[in-house]
Each structure stands twice: as structure tokens, then as C-alpha cells.
Amino acid sequence: MRQVTLRLWLFFCCVPGLSPVYAQSVSGKLAAAFKTFRADPQLRNGMAALYVVDARSGEVVFGENETTGLAPASTLKVITSASAYELLGKDFRYKTGFAYHKSATGASLLILPGGDPTLGSWRWSDTKEDAVLARITQAVKNTGIKSFDTVVVDGSCWEAGTIPDGWLWQDIGNYYGAGPAKLNWRENQFDVILKSGKRIGDPVTIVDTQPAVSGYTLRSELASAAAGTGDQAYIYFPLNGATGTIRGTIPVNQSRFSISGAMPDAPGQFVSTLQDALAKAGIKSPATATAAPRIPLSSYTTFHTVTSPPLDSIIYWFNRKSINLYGEALLKTIAYKGERTGATEAGVELIKLYWKQQGIPETELNIVDGSGLSPLNRVTAQAQVSVLQHARKQPWFGGFYASLPVLNGMKMKSGTMHGVKGYSGYHRAKDGKEYIFSFVVNNYNGPAPSLVKKMYKVLDALK
């Protein structure tokens, strides 16, 4: 038996190209797969970065272009998520207060928002529009107040602008481009119902908006396109105007084709909706709200508080459904907690400072928003892996890990925008080894679905 084994060993050692190691190493598989990927025509003028480490030891398994800053798209959300856990705390919840002031001449309603992006969201039973309004209305009834002379929304210590630097006009009028105000409502989203014509080129009419957008109107410049072309409609709201325009196409023969837009004035929408609910309960209020209290805040009595779901739950939907609004709200909330000003730029600086203290150079986190929607962001694959390594060691890791979608049999967050595709996450191989990886491609050409298959083929080397 020993002689047979010795002969086999000598055979493998002496025959060119053969080795006693039957299985190629994961590093070797990744190197070969990535080399093939980089030579693909879709990457002719593109850049790809791949960085993989052993989750337990931290040893580098493979790396190429890992220190080059690339547009991360929504893979940036893993950094925002981990930052929120660390800087806000696992048990953090948003609070929205409602207070009143009574005098001999009347009463004033004060709304004290805290930046909650889940107020009125349909994703939880407690946050749904009807449930929130019913609780507020009942609380008002309990005060005994029959009418309000003024309704005030406290916008102090929060920047007025809702749109981060670098967001595209084509994005900001649509649901995924909803920016965060201090008072958000229904994820700052509304739906538009459209009706297309029977022939290609026929005009498309607006059937309805749900809900009606308070203070704004829409007009359609849409055309009917061939069947199967899908949603190619984009909503454009001017910065200083009350009329938005919908441009692009939807397929022919659609009687109730739905697209979703971003509310241009979420605080105004909430106040209008609340006033309608109060009116139905016989409680009168003025037609519009004021932005600053005429009465000192100390003179008000808080009678109701709306509390958001826990951070774990917010992060879950943030990553599972890639809700850009949540990322931008978390970024401003980090700033509000740390600097007492809800500003995007302040949030960015606090995040960069925190990760610098964890050993990630600021130059590897050249970010301008919290969701990855801005094409100005530049992040390295090495920085993303470092954040994921850090997260794995934290007590909040269970919630963070659960928030990551399963794609290609791997727990990872995807990122997509024009010319950008990325994946960052974790994988446990069949042999039990665990890996952390970031794979980002910029400026590829050709169809995204074919690129995705090729990226999956590279990542399959980890299986």
C-alpha cells in the first residue's frame, strides 16, 4: 500500500502541470475568474475592484484595485447602516411629539418632528397612515380642544434643503429620490395612475394621484410605447414651482399604470392630511401651518408622542428594499445627535471621523450622501470590507446581517446605477469557511443583466 501511494506521489510530482493538490485554492480560483472577467468586452473601458478576506482571520484571500475609489451606488448602504448602529445605538427610536398651548383667545397645535422616515409608512402596522392619524386624533380629543388657531411645525436645528449634493434632477422627482425633511410622511411618496393610448406615440393621460399632492399639480408629456417596454416615466418637479411634469413612456393599452413620485413638500402634505382627519372628528384648524412658533416652546404641553420602530427594523427595510430616504434620514439624524444640526454634510463628516478612528483613511470614504444615489460618491472596496469586518464583531451584528438580501446564494447588498454595479457582503462556503467581500464595477458597457451573471460567476469561486 505504501509503494502504491509513493508511486502516485512521484507521478504527480514528475508529470508537468499536475500537482498532488487536487483542488485549486480559493485565491487561485478568484484570480483566474477575475482575470477572465476583466478581459470581457463589457469591461473594455471599465474599472473593476474586488477584495476578499477570510472572515475569521482577516487574511486577504484576493485583492485587485481594492484601494481605488469607485462609485459604490447602493452598496454604500452597508456603511451607513453600520454607522447608524454605532453612532445612534441599537435601541434608537425616532420620536415625533404633538403639543398644545391654550390661552383665553384660543389654542395652538405644535408638531415636534425628529426626522422619522417611517411616519405613515405602510411597512409596519403601527406606522400606517390611518393608524397614526387615528391615534393623534384621539389624543387631541382627550385634550378637550375643539379648534386650533394655528398649527406650527418646528423645523429648528434641521437644514431646510432635503436633496443631498450630486443627486440628479431625473431622480429627485421620483420615489427613490425622496429626500428627508425633519417631518416626513408616507415615506415622502405618492402614486400616479396613468392611462396610455392604443397606438405607439399616443399621449398618456393622468387618471389620479394617490394621495392628492397638496399644493402641487402634475402634467403629462408622456407618450405610449411598444408593449413590454415597461416603466420609462420620470417625474420632474422644478425647484421653485408648483407644477411638475412627467416625461418618458409607458406601454400601450394600459388603463391604470402606476408610477411613484417623491412628495415635493412632505411636511405640508402631513399637515394637510392631519387637518382633514381632525375635521372629520369635528376639530377645526387653519388651512396652512406656520414654520416657527409664535409662542415660546416652553409654553406648550406635549400630549402625544409617536415612536418609530427600533433601528434594527429600520435597517432591515433600508437594506432589503434599498430605501434611499432611510439612508439620508439616518445620516441627518447622526448629525443632529452629534452636532445638534440635521445636515447632510455634518453627518458625512461624523461618519468619516468615526471610521478614521477605526483605521479607515478618510480618502477611502469620499462620500456625499447616505444612500449611494449620488454619482459623486467614491468608496474603496477595501473600506467596505473593513466596515463589514468591524460589523461582524459587534453585538448588533445579528440585525445588520439579517438586513442583507440573499442574492446568488450569498448575503450581500447590491448597488445599481447607470454604469455601476456592485455587491458587498458575506458568504459561508460549503467547507465552512467564511468570507467577506466587496466587488464593484464602474463604467461597464452593454446590458446590466449579462454583467450581473459574469459578476456572479466570479463570486461563485467562494462557494
Q: Place 16 in a pLDDT band, splitting at 50, 70 and 90.
A: very low
Judged by average pLDDT, the poorest of 13-22, 37-46, 246-255 is 13-22
Q: What integer pLDDT is reported at residue 232 of this predicted model?
A: 97
Q: What integer pLDDT is reported at residue 390 of this predicted model?
A: 98
340-349: average pLDDT: 96
pLDDT, tens digit, for every residue of 44-54?
999 999 999 99
Q: Place 142 in a pLDDT band, splitting at 50, 70 and 90.
A: very high
Rounded to whole angstroms, the Cα distance separating 396 from 348 reads 22
Q: Is the pLDDT assigned to residue 168 strictly greater than 80?
A: yes
284-293: average pLDDT: 84
pTM (2 d.p.): 0.93
Tell me if 437 sits within 8 A of 382, measured CB to CB. Answer: no
Q: Place 20 in a pLDDT band, splitting at 50, 70 and 90.
A: very low
Q: What integer pLDDT is reported at residue 395 of this predicted model?
A: 98
118-144: average pLDDT: 98
Q: What integer pLDDT is reported at residue 199 of this predicted model?
A: 98
pLDDT, tens digit, for every residue of 296-314?
888 999 999 999 999 999 9
Q: What integer pLDDT is reported at residue 220 of this predicted model?
A: 98
**Distance, C-alpha 88 to centroid of its chain:** 17
Q: Is the pLDDT assigned to residue 22 strictly greater than 70?
A: no
Q: What integer pLDDT is reported at residue 370 of this predicted model?
A: 98
Q: What integer pLDDT is reported at residue 15 of this predicted model?
A: 45
Q: What integer pLDDT is reported at residue 105 of this predicted model?
A: 87
Which residues have C-beta within 8 Å of that of residue 317, sequence separation ≥ 6?
123, 323, 326, 403
Peptide bond into 309 cis (omega under 30): no
Q: Place 435 in a pLDDT band, splitting at 50, 70 and 90.
A: very high
- Give the per-residue SS3 of the chain: CHHHHHHHHHHHHHCCCCCCCCCCCHHHHHHHHHHHHHCCHHHCCCEEEEEEEECCCCCEEEEECCCCCECCHHHHHHHHHHHHHHHHCCCCCCEEEEEEEECCCCEEEEEECCCCCCCECCCCCCCEHHHHHHHHHHHHHHHCCCECCEEEECCCCECCCCCCCCCCHHHHCEHHHCCCCCCCCHHHEEEEEEECCCCCCCECEEEEEECCCCCCEEEECCEEECCCCCCEEEEECCCCCCEEEEEEEEECCCCCEEEEEECCCHHHHHHHHHHHHHHHCCCECCCCCECCCCCCHHHCEEEEEEECCCHHHHHHHHHHCCCHHHHHHHHHHHHHHHHCCECHHHHHHHHHHHHHHCCCCHHHEECCCCCCCCCCCEECHHHHHHHHHHHHCCCCHHHHHHHCCEECCEEEEEEEECCEEEEEEEEECCCCCEEEEEEEEECCCCCHHHHHHHHHHHHHHHC
Q: What integer pLDDT is reported at residue 17 of this predicted model?
A: 42
Rounded to whole angstroms, the Cα distance separating 118 from 153 reads 18
Rounded to whole angstroms, the Cα distance separating 183 from 96 reads 8
Which residues have C-beta within 8 Å of that of residue 234, sequence separation ≥ 6?
170, 173, 174, 246, 247, 248
Judged by average pLDDT, the poorest of 1-15, 70-84, 132-146 is 1-15
Rounded to whole angstroms, the Cα distance separating 460 from 352 reads 32
395-414: average pLDDT: 98
Q: Is the pLDDT assigned to residue 117 strictly greater than 60?
A: yes
pLDDT, tens digit, for every residue of 183-234?
999 999 999 999 999 999 999 999 999 999 988 999 999 999 999 999 999 9
Q: What integer pLDDT is reported at residue 2 of this predicted model?
A: 43
Q: What integer pLDDT is reported at residue 457 of this predicted model?
A: 98
11-21: average pLDDT: 42
233 pairs with which residues across the strands? Answer: 248
Q: Is the pLDDT assigned to residue 5 strictly greater than 90?
A: no
Residue with cell 475569521: 56
Q: What integer pLDDT is reported at residue 11 of this predicted model?
A: 43
Domains present along the chain, CATH in parentheses: 26-90+311-462 (3.40.710.10), 93-185+263-309 (3.50.80.20), 190-256 (no CATH)
416 pairs with which residues across the strands? Answer: 421
Rounded to whole angstroms, the Cα distance separating 422 from 72 reads 7
Rounded to whole angstroms, the Cα distance separating 164 from 172 reads 10
Rounded to whole angstroms, the Cα distance separating 190 from 273 reads 13
Q: What integer pLDDT is reported at residue 19 of this predicted model?
A: 36
Q: Is the pLDDT assigned to residue 1 strictly greater than 70?
A: no
φ/ψ bin of 276: left (φ > 0), alpha (ψ from -120 to 50), beta (otherwise)? alpha
CA distances from 145 to 48, 131, 301, 452 (A): 62, 21, 13, 59
Packing angle of the helix pair 324-339, 311-320 (nearest 10 deg): 140
pLDDT, tens digit, for every residue of 151-165?
999 999 999 888 998
Q: What integer pLDDT is reported at residue 287 of this predicted model?
A: 78
393-398: average pLDDT: 98
Rounded to whole angstroms, the Cα distance separating 374 from 333 reads 19
98-108: average pLDDT: 94
